[in-house]
Amino acid sequence: MTNILDRIWLFFSSVKLTIVLLLIFAVAMGYGTWIETVYSNGAARILIYRTWWFDLLTVILALNLIGCTLRRAPYSPHQYPWLLTHVSLLLIMTASMITNRFGMQGQMVILEGDTENRFGLEQLDLENWDTMIGEERTLPFGVHCVSFEQVMYPGTGMTSLFKSHVIVDDPGNPERIEWDVILNHPLSYKGYKISQASWIDLPDGRQATVLGVSYDPGIPYMYAGGILLVLSMVGIIFLKPWLKSKWPPVPRGDRMPLAENTEMTAELMAQSSDEKENVSA
């Protein structure tokens, strides 16, 4: 039983496994980028980034990162920024998992003067390798479209700007929230992001606005991981030399021992500690 656990430990704490996983990730993300370029971002999300095997790769890489970190403990103070890098990467991978499992992307269509709280989730159109509107979801609030405006370039008939003036209809919030939803100027409310996607010209001359709806509960973890990653890079560049001069590195012999037969037991660690005490005496 111990040998099996030791082999599992060595497998998940191996740098070779890290290299293999990173190569697989590179191939998968390269294929995803090709799908985004040739077809659409939604198709890449459904075919690559939100699949079970991509989640499995992320979990194994996270376990591998934890194993590599623990296997090389304890660390010298000048190596602490590198530990912070590992923590930031784990947070970013956690954000990716949360987004893939619980995030939503879709669209809602609203006529001028109407209120809507339902949107259709994007699903893959296998015939065209694109996304289409599928199963409906309900927002925890309503969106009232006061007006839709389409501005043309003078003398060209081409659209230069289209925007929707909306009001958030939330019975639980007495505050009146109005917003001009424009491209790259979305409305953010209760974790949902409402963006301008397109519009529809109706036969009776009216127009309906098409709003994109996205929900990403992994964003806080992504921001936290990004901030820690920047701080760790600053620490590696500027603090590492100072920390190394103040505190001597931890000798390699003081780190977690690894027996030739891969058995790492409490007896071996205790024996190593006793030998050091005898030498000191």
Domain ranges of the chain: 2-102+219-280, 105-215
| pLDDT tens digits, 74-99 | 677 777 888 899 999 999 999 988 98
Task: Please give the average per-residue pLDDT across 228-251, as a whole number.
Answer: 79
Residue length of the chain: 281
pLDDT at 151 (0 to 100): 77
Tell me the CATH architecture of domain 105-215. Answer: Sandwich (2.60)
What is the distance between the alpha carbons of residues 16 and 258, in angstroms, rounded to a whole number? 17
Helix ranges (H only) for the chain are: 2-12, 15-38, 41-44, 52-71, 80-102, 219-234, 240-246, 266-280
Max mean pLDDT among 174-178, 203-207, 222-226, 276-280 falls in 222-226
How does pLDDT run across 151-208, given as a tens digit for each residue?
777 777 677 788 899 999 998 888 889 999 998 899 999 999 999 988 888 888 788 8
Residue type, 33: T
| Continuous segment of H or E residues that includes residue 231 | helix 219-234
Q: What is the pLDDT of residue 266?
A: 43
State how far the Cα of 24 lies from the Cα of 31, in Å rounded to an integer.
11
pTM score: 0.71
